[in-house]
Amino acid sequence: MKLSAALVFSILLCLQSLSFAQAEQSIQIRNLTEGVWLHTSTYTYPNAVKFPSNGLIVQDGKELILIDTAWGELQTVELLKAIESQINLPVTTAIVTHAHGDRAAGIDVLESVGIKVTSHPLTQRITKEHGLPVPNNVFTNLATPRSTTRVGKLEVIFPGPAHAMDNLLVWLPDEKILFGGCAIRAISATSAGNTAHGDIESWIEVMEFLRNQYKSATTVIPGHGEVGGIELIDHTAHLAEASR
C-alpha cells in the first residue's frame, strides 16, 4: 500500500516527538545577517561522540531556500518545525550539496511536503547506489567543473571534485557569504577528513580556484565546525596537500 505524502510526514512527526521528547533540541538556527541563517544539526556516533553539521537557510523574497538537509530524517523534520516557528516563511526550494548522509539524509522528508530538491547530476546516481534518499531534480548545467548557475538570489557552483566528486558550493554575492559545505574545513580541523569519495589533487586545485574567484568573501561556512573567513580556504588547501 502506497502512503500519501501527508501521511508519511505525519508518521515522521510522531516518531520525532517520541524520539526527542526527553532530549535537548538537536537543531540550532543562528542568524548570520538579514535574511540568512545557519542551521546546525548534530549526529551522535556509536561511541557517543557528537558531531555538528552545518547548512544554510536563505530568504528569497517571501520564500526560503534551504541548503542541505539536517543529518537524518527525524532531524530534518525538526529543522522544518524550527524554521516554521522561528522564521515563519515557507521553504519552497532545497539544494543538496553532495551525496553523503549529513547533506542528503532528509531528502524524502523535504519532497514529501512539496519542497523541490535539486542536486548535482552525480548526486542523484550516488545516493541511489548508496541507498540514500534520491533527489528528484538535478542541475544539468553543472556537470562541468567551474560551472555555475543561479537559483533565485544564489549562485550555485560546481568547482570540480574535492571532498566529494559531486560537491556543490553556494555563493551569496550581496552578503559576500560562501557556503563551502564539506569542501571547506573548519579552522579547528587537523585533517582533510573523509577523502574516500573525493579527489585530493582536484581538491587542491579547487581551493586555488575559490581563492581567486571568491576572494571578496567575508564569511566562509564549512560543512562542520565554526564559521570563519577567507582563511578557511587556505587552511583547507593545506590539509588537502598534507593528505596526499
Give catalytic status of residue 163 as yes or no: yes
DSSP-based three-state secondary structure for 137: strand
**What is the full per-residue pLDDT of the chain (244 aa) written as tens digits?**
344 554 444 544 444 443 433 334 589 999 999 999 999 999 887 888 888 999 999 999 999 999 999 999 999 999 999 999 999 999 999 999 999 989 999 999 999 999 999 999 999 999 999 899 999 999 999 999 999 999 999 999 999 999 999 999 999 999 999 999 999 999 999 999 988 899 999 999 999 999 999 999 999 999 999 999 999 999 999 999 999 8
Torsion angle, CA of 215/220/226/232, rounded to 10 degrees?
Answer: -30
Q: From the candidates 163, 166, 224, 235, which is the catalytic residue?
A: 163
Cβ atoms of 38 and 54 within 8 Å: the answer is yes
pLDDT digit string (tens) for 111-138?
A: 999 999 999 999 999 999 989 999 999 9
Give catalytic status of residue 224 as yes or no: no
Could you tell me which of 106, 17, 121 has the C-alpha nearest to residue 66?
Answer: 106
Q: From the candidates 102, 166, 167, 235, which is the catalytic residue?
A: 102
Alpha helices in 5-120 (DSSP H): 5-20, 73-86, 101-104, 107-112
* C-alpha cell, 240: 588537502
Could you tell me which of 17, 25, 52 has the C-alpha nearest to residue 38?
Answer: 52
pLDDT digit string (tens) for 33-66?
A: 999 999 999 988 788 888 899 999 999 999 999 9
Return the ∠ at Cα 179 (arms to 175 and 183), rounded to 5°. 155
Q: From the candidates 39, 100, 224, 235, which is the catalytic residue?
A: 100
Distance CA 244, CA 117 (A): 34
Residue 176 burial (CB < 10 Å; 0-12/13-18/19+)?
A: middle
Residue 197 burial (CB < 10 Å; 0-12/13-18/19+)?
A: middle
Q: From the candidates 39, 54, 68, 98, which is the catalytic residue?
A: 98
